A and B are shown apart, each in its own frame.
Chain A
Amino acid sequence: MIRSMWALFKKDLQSEIRTRYAINSLGMFIIVTVSVILFSLGSEKLAQNLTGGLFWVVVFFTAMSGLSRAFVSEEERGTVMTLHLIARPTVILGGKLFFNLGLIFLMNSVTFLLFSGFFETFVFKSPDIFLLVFIFGNIGIAVAATIIAAIIAKASGKATLYPVLSFPILLPLMLIVIDLTKTSLEGTTYTDAGIELSFLACYDIVMLVISYLLFDFIWKD
């Protein structure tokens, strides 16, 4: 089953390489957003406790502008039935999740590099903890965004609905990652951040399980 998921991922990847739609538009989205922040700051310095929050704001909106494509593009092109005919629902969910995971890790690494370059205060006293937050946070966003994207695609791809539906689901995750990013900028230890980190891991697992359980209902007409 993993092999089928991987094959679906490779199909999406090859399609992406040929059209470069997501990479181009998301790349531009990040650059535009970061430059808007830079313009609004002018010559002032950004306070350290704000950079963490801003970072996740950019991440959230990047995800909201790009991750729905995984399902919406299939629905728009009319290839949903073809997918029905060649794979079971779990494979579709897995393949799309792989693709979104790849996309979000790539995009957020770019955002991270831009933030490190432009904001002097975006320096971590506990980089190891931030790395964990980054990984768990990205996985959580990718999983929740993927299942909501599947819902959106069935609602004939109403793009404005996507952040509306995703935000309440992502809210607990966002609150934890913003809090943890702030503390890891200031410096923290595993004992202090332990419970929040495990909550983060819990969120990822719970979301993954519920997506697996509910995807059949969304996928089948």
Chain B
Amino acid sequence: MFKKFTVYILISLVSIVGISFPIVKSPEKWYEFPNIPGLEENAKIIFFHVPLSWLAVLAFLMSTYFSIRYLRKKDFTDDLKSYTSAQLGLIFCILATVTGSVWAKLAWGSFWNWDPRETSIFAILLIYGAYFALRSSLDNEEKRATLAAVYSCIAFITVPFFVFIMPRIMTGLHPGSADDSTSGPVVSFKMNMNMRVVFFVSLGAFTLLYSWLWSLGYRALLLKEKFLKSQEGLEQ
């Protein structure tokens, strides 16, 4: 209950502040954001797009972590945890792709450019898609849990390749990528204090949102399992 309330307050706060505070050339008042060259007004998407992408990756990580734990201990609840995380991950991944792509239209002139970051998130989307396709094709619960866990482990080891190889093969357009001419990470150098505070509050709020949704989804799945079990007990 407390978590739900905190998430509500924080996300509303971030939305209002992030959207309404003006961006000016040289910020003087406390509510003014600085102008980042190359981003201008579009910079405000950072409060939403970056946390969403971060959650897409975090959910993927958590899903793999629970998959490995399932393979080690064969505890059925670990599979449910992994599955819940992957479900959320897919939603966040789609949202991150859409927000990024809208921003790309304004900043780079087209919705999709095969920038390294875009390719990576595309790959993560494909992995999620394949993971769910595999799960839905298997009826036996034990088999489904094991094979899905194995697949997410295999998929996970391709991640470092995307991180290290993409920038070498493709030129990056994304702010903060290696050959961004106005170089340097966006977060640490080009934001002023109040922007950074809003950004990190947003990051925290979204992470909290994830953990709330995750425990909700997990408990729902667990209840469903218990219900099925009790029904089978009645039949016998």
Contact = CB atoms under 8 A, between A and B. Distances in A.
Interface of A: 144, 147-148, 151, 154-156, 158, 161, 164-165, 167-169, 171-172, 175-176, 179, 195-196, 199, 202-203, 206-207, 210-211, 214, 217-218, 221
A83 B168 CA distance: 44
B137 A171 contact: no
A169 B152 CA distance: 10
Q: Which 7 pairs show the lowest CB-CB distances between chains A and B?
A: A172-B161, A168-B126, A168-B127, A165-B130, A179-B169, A214-B150, A155-B137
A176 B71 CA distance: 31
30 contacts: A147-B154, A148-B154, A154-B143, A154-B147, A155-B147, A161-B133, A164-B129, A164-B133, A168-B126, A168-B127, A169-B154, A171-B123, A172-B161, A172-B162, A172-B165, A175-B165, A175-B166, A175-B169, A176-B169, A179-B169, A195-B168, A196-B169, A199-B161, A199-B164, A207-B157, A214-B71, A217-B149, A218-B147, A218-B150, A221-B143
Contacts of A148: 154
Nearest to B163: A172
A191 to B, nearest CB: 14
A154 B150 CA distance: 12
Given A195-B168, A217-B71, A218-B147, A165 B158 contact: no
B36 interface: no
A221 B74 CA distance: 12
Contacts of B123: 168, 171-172
Interface size class of B (residues with CB under 8 A): 20 to 34
A169 B134 contact: no
Contact of A155 (B71, B138, B169): B138
Contacts of A155: 134, 137-138, 147
A149 to B, nearest CB: 12
Given A161-B137, A172-B158, A175-B165, A167 B153 contact: no
Nearest to B126: A168
A19 B155 CA distance: 35
Contact of B126 (A144, A147, A171): A171
A93 to B, nearest CB: 13
Contact of A151 (B126, B151, B162, B169): B151
Contacts of B149: 217
